[in-house]
Structure 1
Amino acid sequence: MVLVGFGGGCHWCTEAVFQPLVGVRAVRQGFIRSDAPFDSWSEAVEVEFDPELISLRDLISVHLATHASISEHKMRGKYRSAAYVFDTDQQMDCERIIADIGSEAQTDFITQVLMHRGFKSSDERFHNYYQSKPEKPFCQAYIEPKLAKLRTQYKQLLQGEHDR
């Protein structure tokens, strides 16, 4: 198993995006920080995955496609666009993958690759938010469009779909 962190939007949304992916063993919703000047807590998730079943490139591709990864906005402190890594090898891999995807898409991503320096879990009542409350207005307005994108653009990565 390998661990990586992702931040970019609300952790309720990010959690819901990664949970249905094949090879993802666990998604922990909370806050991650890095080294200064990125040492403030920012909403994010830790994703534990099996690289035999899903690649880091696939995870990053999904991440870049399901949040505002090309635009700065006033909430970037709370919703830092980042991949959080645990060592320099993983850092180099993530940087290369983001650059490659950007080149292929002819897009400049603002997503940073930062060292993971701490995690704190969000309040347990918010864990599995979409799974437990899919009918809520927030879920319908913000999470469901991201999942619809997964179903159309990343169907092969969804649990139950990759064997078909």
Structure 2
Amino acid sequence: MKGVAQVDQGFIRSEAPSDAWAEGVIVHFDPAIITLPVLVEVHLRTHSAVGTYSPDGRYRSAIYVFDPGQHSEAAKSIAQFALAQDEIARTTVLSLVGFKPSDARYQNYYRTDPERPFCRRYIDPKLQYIREHFSEIAVPSPADCEP
């Protein structure tokens, strides 16, 4: 997405009771190009925002923030999403306490082999959704750039 400079993939933890390491990413972005509420909306629409599946908390649906201002913005965005969906959003806002990167073999998983079954089944539909519904901020796919 335009305005996203870097994404660090790994494991994130917060304060108790959410202090178990969970898979997640840290998104480095330019708020002059893409705002936190837009990033939250993209996350909510492409993630299990209303689901309850979370084995051992490893896949909790959460937005991790660095400061109280981000906490307020993210919480407001989640509340607006839940109201529009007429459903309770399970996504929570948590303070980021720790981060450790994934093993090298999992870094850039999609880019290293987008033909993997997991990529085709789970990642491709999310990327397609972003391209269709957030076209103004979506970076074109490599196939869109071919002559």
TM-score norm. by structure 1 comes to 0.81
CA shift, 1:57, in A, is: 1.0
Trace 1:34-73 onto structure 2 (pairs within 5 A): 34-73=14-53
Structure number with greater Rg is: 2
CA distance in 2, matches of 1:101, 1:22: 22
Q: How does 1:1-164 map to 2 (within 5 A)?
A: 21-75=1-55, 77-159=57-139
Query: Which amino acid in 1 is paired with 2:112?
Result: S
Q: Which amino acid aligns with 1:138?
A: F
- Give the letter aligned to residue 28 of structure 1: D
CA distance in 2, matches of 1:137, 1:73: 21
Q: CA deviation at 1:105?
A: 2.9
How far apart are residue 76 of structure 1 and its match? 6.1
TM-score (norm 2): 0.90
Q: Using the alignment, how far apart are the partners of 1:160 and 1:136 within structure 2?
A: 21
State the structure with bigger RCO (CA 8 A, min sep 6), 1 or 2.
1
Q: Indicate the percent of aligned positions where both proteins have the same amino acid.
A: 44
Q: Name the amino acid aligned to 1:123.
A: D
Alpha-carbon deviations, 1:36-76, whole Å to 9, x = none? 01000000000000001001111000000111110102436
Deviates more, 1:47-56 or 1:131-140: 131-140
SS in 1 for 2:119: helix
Q: Which runs of 5+ in 2 are unaligned?
A: 142-147
Deviates more, 1:137-146 or 1:113-122: 137-146
Letter matched to residue 11 of structure 2: F
For 1:69 and 1:129, the matched residues in 2 are separated by: 23
Aligned-residue offset at 1:108: 1.7
Write the letter of the residue equivalent to 2:58: K
Q: Which runs of 5+ in 1 are unaligned?
A: 1-20
- 1:65 and 1:114 map into 2 onto residues whose CA distance is 19
